[in-house]
Amino acid sequence: MADVYKILVEYDGSGFAGFQEQDKRTKKPTVAGALSDAIFEFSGERVQVFSAGRTDAGVHALAMPVHFPLERKTTAREIMGALNFYLAKAGGKCSVLKAAKAKPGFHARFSCKGREYMYRILNRPARAALLDGKAWQVWPKLNIKAMDEAARLLVGNHDFSSFRGGGCQAKSPIKTLDSISVKKSGGLIVVRIKAKSFLYHQVRNIVGTLKQVGEGKLKPSDMKKILRAKSRASAGPTAPAAGLYFVKATY
């Protein structure tokens, strides 16, 4: 009988076409594909991996929970060392931070009770060098206080149709945001947002709208009007994937 293992994965999304494996004919690298290949190299078993979040192309992760079954008898320590060896050999854009045998019934996605994302904005006129592909560079100075005021109006249970991306497969646009904040941190503007689950592109659409508040194109109070409109056309643009990070999941 196969054992189930849980790992925490860190990855640079700029080298991947998202987490989920795609049609093999596209030949685009994915995080799931990289992990699956590393597991195969180690064990000789081709397994499916399951994650707490399905990040898009270019989105990063600081600690993404992943689980998978394995017939081979081994240890969590051996799995962590072996996977990191093969992941590094394949390009090093992904790393296993922790590994453990999962409790019975554990599922990285369906057992998850909360998810946290972070979005980083580099707000300066000088071209990004070290943060290229790791943050959204915005040249005009943004009003962080106004952005934070607007963000807090989104906390709670709402119909988030105005922030729902096209192609979203969620059955309902109603979600509950547990918290959201906009603060300056180390020269960056950081948006942190927590909820049990999110709509497709919800976080990036919220950030794109907050940017317009920061620029003075929208007032903080306009967030209420945007929510009531229940129309994607009423909100701001979709922020680039490069600034988005999956931070952690709670169980």
Answer positive or negative: Cα dihedral of 164, 168, 173, 176: negative
Q: How many CB atoms are closer than 10 A to CB 155?
A: 16
Q: Kind of pairing, strands 114-123 and 188-195?
A: antiparallel
- Residue ranges of alpha helices (H) inside the chain are 31-43, 76-90, 144-152, 202-214, 222-229
User: Looking at residue 14, what DSSP letter applies?
Assistant: G
Interhelix angle 202-214/222-229, nearest 10 degrees: 140
- Separation CA 115–CA 175 (nearest Å): 13
Question: Which residue shows structure tokens 């922030």?
Answer: 163
Show which residues are catalytic. Answer: 56
Residue 242 is classified by DSSP as G
Q: Which amino acid is at 246?
A: F
Under 8 Å between Cβ of 179 and 188: no
